[in-house]
A and B are shown apart, each in its own frame.
Chain A
């Protein structure tokens, strides 16, 4: 008999959290995942790009105070905006129309900021302040004018490049064991003999993954936005950038929901997490390589040098996510182009969700 055994005693406590008891699954899932030293290292690594983005936004907002950075500002802004243009659309634009529009715009708006650059060659462009009476004010106007686009490009790059790749690693470490381990240890009856539905079980498991993903994507991005607003000249910046937090949330949904569903679906299909992990990484690597190889072949055959408009992008989950995130941050020239890729993500999510529900309920159906 244990020292403190007082026999059985009834318990009259209330159960006020029944609707949110699935959060217990997430809490314990996250707690177990956090025991992995590798996961901790990846999470720490995942915060490095956050500091990079934070520094970039800070410098952009404070650049008017540093005259030595003025030339670089114009070069970088031009290069960033150029990098986001759709080359096909650029080729298709009528050059005569462009020439005709030019002078009218100049008459209406005055000289464009780009015209103060000595436009020999973009990478070596120089800022010439001699013909500007107040360069500081001029630069601030330039910063204000391009803020929304530059921030969106910054956040898109953050989501797409660094956190996109880290997401693959993080999900690949956490999700494959979440359901397969329960199948292996036959823990289903432990959950379902409680007032938990299969959907709540799935929600609990998905939230385990989302906790980590939100910690390395959405929260840092929103924090950077907040810091950006605080370091900008005035709170009027919010009027100019109010859509960015919403775009961050949309990009988060794009990044997390289909990927989590796919990873959990793989986890539910096998009893051993290593097979699910292998399948997860294989999908991303094989998809990326196939799309890249076929894209290169296209490049040689037709001269289509843009991966975004490549017809093979759909083969690679990484590219599909990138295209949809680009749309989410409003950087697509033709937003309608995103529809097939949104459809792909939608189909993947629905099919994985259906498979998951079927696999989760299978042990309790018989």
Chain B
């Protein structure tokens, strides 16, 4: 599945991975464009397995994949040299300081020690880590560890950044700052970012595209703009008066009525002037219209719908 004809950074074709009888990924075909992409899915959906395959750490049972034009089956080391990965787990070496940790990560990529140290300080400055960089990482708070992991992922200036739950454990201010940094990396530095998260508002806020993975299958792939757009022209409606009676009148007039996750009425009618019909029927039913806005499907709804669908054949991407 692909979003559009935009240049892609990840291409996967018929990727399947099973661990014994457990099917982690089923026939995943996916083209991820440049920009910021959110990878969504419930626990056990296969996100971690997919990331490990992208990094060339796990060999797929069948299928093929390319990351930045490199084969995930044969060029794992080269992929890992140019991709930055921020794991969800703490992943630190007890006893060393924050700056040593980032320096260590740069040296593991093969950079010279002195140059790596300079770069480590530069990246820590960017990540907002101040004097605490000289403290042992064991003493860091969750938020500080998140920033440190982010710095490690960035230190070798990757062209693709894979972030696993980058904002978990951050306070609201820090979360906004982190999202701003990620957005800046994509917009200003031209870095592509794949964010794996459960926090849908984060995806809504900064992602250009989203992939919904459920039970090892890709259920949705599209731009956030398209995912937010309802299947047919719809309006969000709030009224004053007898809601049940008004809904009944609308249905009798052939207008579809549903309620979204926030309790608002979503009305749709593919044919005709929907707004005019609503005003007219409201007048006849003796109810007042408090608000009438173009409907947008929230990512929560997209996610829930994708979860409820049976398989890739049902998706509308």
Contact = CB atoms under 8 A, between A and B. Distances in A.
B289 interface: no
B81 A8 contact: no
A15 B109 contact: yes
Interface in A178-205: 181-182, 185-197
B184 A7 contact: yes
A41 interface: no
A9 B122 contact: yes
Interface in B46-102: 49, 52, 55, 57-58, 77-78, 80-81, 83, 85, 87, 89-96, 100
A194 B105 contact: yes
Contact of A185 (B91, B100, B104, B181): B91
B179 interface: no
Interface in B84-135: 85, 87, 89-96, 100, 104-105, 107-112, 115, 119, 121-122, 124-126, 128-130
A301 interface: no
A276 to B, nearest CB: 15
A8 B185 contact: yes
Interface in B248-274: none
A308 B233 CA distance: 91
B91 A187 contact: yes
Contacts of A19: 110
A197 B81 contact: no
Given A11-B156, A11-B157, A21-B107, A195 B80 contact: yes
Interface string A1-22: 1111111111111111111110
Given A185-B91, A189-B87, A193-B80, A2 B110 contact: no
B92 A190 contact: yes
A190 B152 contact: yes
Most buried by B among A8, A14, A185: A8
A204 to B, nearest CB: 9
B19 A16 contact: no
Nearest to A4: B125
A17 B107 CA distance: 8
A32 B85 contact: no
B189 interface: yes
B100 A28 contact: yes
Interface residues of A, number: 46
B284 interface: no
Contacts of A194: 80-81, 105, 108-109
B45 to A, nearest CB: 15
B188 interface: yes
Contacts of A35: 95
A7 B154 CA distance: 13
A8 B184 contact: yes
Given A5-B126, A8-B126, A28-B100, A195 B93 contact: no
A365 interface: yes
A192 B128 contact: no
Contacts of B111: 13-15, 17
Contact of B110 (A4, A17, A366): A17
A50 B192 CA distance: 57
Contacts of A8: 126, 154, 181, 184-185, 188-189
A365 B90 contact: no
B189 to A, nearest CB: 5
Nearest to B131: A2
A364 B58 CA distance: 7
Which one of B57, B94, B108 has the highest number of Cβ atoms from chain A below 10 Å of its Cβ?
Answer: B108
Contacts of A193: 55, 57, 80, 83, 85, 87
Contacts of A15: 81, 109-111, 156
Interface of B: 19, 49, 52, 55, 57-58, 77-78, 80-81, 83, 85, 87, 89-96, 100, 104-105, 107-112, 115, 119, 121-122, 124-126, 128-130, 152, 154, 156-157, 181, 184-185, 188-189
27 contacts: A2-B130, A4-B121, A5-B128, A7-B188, A10-B189, A11-B119, A14-B111, A15-B111, A15-B156, A18-B110, A21-B108, A24-B107, A181-B94, A185-B90, A185-B94, A186-B87, A186-B91, A187-B92, A189-B85, A190-B87, A193-B57, A193-B85, A194-B109, A196-B80, A197-B77, A364-B52, A365-B58
